[in-house]
């Protein structure tokens, strides 16, 4: 922004010789303003109470690892899962995201292994259950959900109740 303001001021004066002094003055003014005050947009974000992560993390966060803050055991969902299992998981767990894991046929006995396929969010699972968009082994035809189906309940996502 400093450079663009300098270009505007140079064009307004019509004298390129003033380019260096204008750049120096604008740089000093910006550094001084940043030292004593937050930016204009940062102040308005705070005034509007918008939840916004700060640029720097807290000091204690640098010593945390994913292992120290995650819950154990990891609640994972298979790529093809029974509706009853998903319903039980949603009733018993308060997590908002679940890893989706593809279990290989040769390693079906070990439920803790598999290939990570992605993550599915709690409100997405609830929307699928409410729309009754399941795979039935008797018929291969079903309607696919659209983005609008998931946006219907936003910002208040439905509960499993």
55 alpha-carbon distance from chain centroid: 16
Give the C-alpha separation, 41 to 46, whole Å. 9
Note the CATH architecture for domain 62-151: Roll (3.10)
Is it the case that residue 106 has pLDDT exceeding 60? no
**Residue 126, Cβ density class (10 Å: 0-12 exposed, 13-18 middle, ≥19 buried):** buried
pLDDT of the residue at 52: 81
Is it the case that residue 108 has pLDDT exceeding 60? no
Domain locations in the chain?
2-47, 62-151
Q: What is the mean pLDDT of the chain?
A: 82
């Amino acid at each position: 922004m400093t450079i663009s303001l300098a270009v505007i001021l140079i064009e307004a004066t019509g004298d390129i010789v003033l380019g260096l002094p204008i750049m120096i003055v604008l740089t000093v003014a910006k550094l001084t303003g940043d030292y004593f005050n937050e930016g204009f947009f940062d102040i308005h974000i705070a005034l509007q109470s918008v939840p916004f992560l700060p640029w720097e993390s807290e000091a204690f966060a640098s010593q945390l690892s994913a292992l120290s803050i995650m819950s154990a055991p990891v609640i994972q969902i298979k790529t093809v899962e029974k509706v009853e299992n998903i319903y039980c998981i949603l009733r018993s767990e308060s997590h908002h995201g679940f890893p989706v894991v593809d279990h290989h046929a040769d390693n079906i006995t070990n439920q803790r292994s598999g290939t990570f396929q992605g993550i599915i969010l709690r409100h997405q699972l609830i929307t699928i259950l409410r729309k009754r968009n399941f795979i039935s082994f008797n018929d291969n035809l079903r309607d696919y959900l659209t983005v609008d189906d998931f946006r219907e309940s936003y910002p208040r996502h439905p509960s499993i109740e």
